[in-house]
Amino acid sequence: MTQLTTIDRTLVEQIVRQVVTGQTESAADPASPGELVVSISARHCHLSDEHVETLFGAGHRLTPMRELYQDGFYAAEETVMVVGPRRRMIEKVRVLGPTRPESQVELAFTDAISLGLQVPVRHSGDLAETPGCVLVGPAGVVELERGVIRAARHVHMCFAEAERLGVQNGDLINLRIESPFCTTLLEDLLVRADATSKLEVHIDTDEGNAVYLDGATKVELVHQEKQKKPCSCTGHGK
Ligand SMILES: [Zn+2]
């Protein structure tokens, strides 16, 4: 039991594992404006209100457990079991809130392989022709006909930040990560700009581990058309 508890805590921490540029002493330090936060999203799911009730009981509402970096979003106390073909399963997949119109499961490729699922790389909400799975909660079971994806790497920001960086919502930008013997350029991050989001990159556990994000000494967004010249947002001021 002790081991299971430890594993689950690790999973929770992975949901919000972050590297803030230039801050190696504590990833929990709040970033100042313009500072680049790179977060690893561990496997998780988003649920509709209807599915929350099916899985956790009539009238049930998600219980926020930990705030995420983006205002208004949280890791919930609730977890579900995700079951793939031939009854392969992953226990305790964290539910993120708030609820959404359509349920969605976001896995790293490593997770999908262990489940026996072939999942496409998709942007959140783009669920046409994606595989389904079965979700099991303490009060019931939901059979998702679609909605299992590997989330495509992306970067959130507000419109003002986008303007400062010279990009627009829907553009692609690259992320360069300097880490010991693992320095890597991740290309084609989708810019997701809106009125309120804070500057934050989302990559998954496979990507984060491959680039040794935990050991990163520098992270920076790099314009695609001029990769030699980092954009102004390097986390070292404006
Ligand atoms: Zn995101």
Whole-number Å distance, alpha carbon 203 to ligand 1 midpoint, is 8
Is 99 domain-assigned? yes
Take residue 40 and report the two structure tokens written for it: 């690893």
Asked if 132 contacts 148 with a C-beta cutoff of 8 angstroms, the reply is yes
Whole-number Å distance, alpha carbon 105 to ligand 1 midpoint, is 13
Residue whose C-alpha is closest to residue 153's, from 214, 94, 210 = 210
The residue that leads in pLDDT, 13 or 47, is 47
Give the separation between CA 26 and CA 33, rounded to whole angstroms: 17
Whole-number Å distance, alpha carbon 195 to ligand 1 midpoint, is 15
Residues with CB under 5 A from ligand 1 (ion): 202
Q: Please tell me the pTM assigned to this model.
A: 0.82
Number of separate domains in the chain: 2
Q: Tell me: do 126 and 206 sit in the same domain.
A: no
Is 7 domain-assigned? no
Is 12 domain-assigned? no
Is 11 domain-assigned? no
Q: Which residue range(s) make up the domain with 175?
A: 17-40+153-222
Residues with Cβ within 8 Å of 3's Cβ and at least 6 positions away in sequence, in order, are: none
Reported residue count of the chain is 238
Q: Tell me: do 80 and 114 sit in the same domain.
A: yes
Whole-number Å distance, alpha carbon 188 to ligand 1 midpoint, is 14
How many Å separate Cα 29 from the centre of its chain?
Answer: 19
State mean pLDDT over 8-13: 53
pLDDT band, residue 225 (cuts 50/70/90): confident
Give the separation between CA 53 and CA 74, rounded to whole angstroms: 18
Whole-number Å distance, alpha carbon 6 to ligand 1 midpoint, is 26
Whole-number Å distance, alpha carbon 156 to ligand 1 midpoint, is 6
Residues with Cβ within 8 Å of 76's Cβ and at least 6 positions away in sequence, in order, are: 62, 63, 64, 65, 94, 95, 96, 97
Domain final residue, candidates 115, 134, 150: 150
How many Å separate Cα 153 from the centre of its chain?
Answer: 8
Take residue 207 and report the two structure tokens written for it: 């990507």
pLDDT tens digits for range 133-182: 999 999 999 999 999 999 999 999 999 999 999 999 999 999 999 999 99
Whole-number Å distance, alpha carbon 236 to ligand 1 midpoint, is 23
Take residue 11 and report the two structure tokens written for it: 């999973």
Whole-number Å distance, alpha carbon 155 to ligand 1 midpoint, is 7
DSSP strand pairing (184-194 vs 154-158) = parallel
pLDDT tens digits for range 106-127: 999 999 999 999 999 999 899 9
Is 233 domain-assigned? no
**What is the rounded average pLDDT for all residues in the chain?**
86
The yes-or-no verdict on residue 38 having pLDDT over 70 is yes
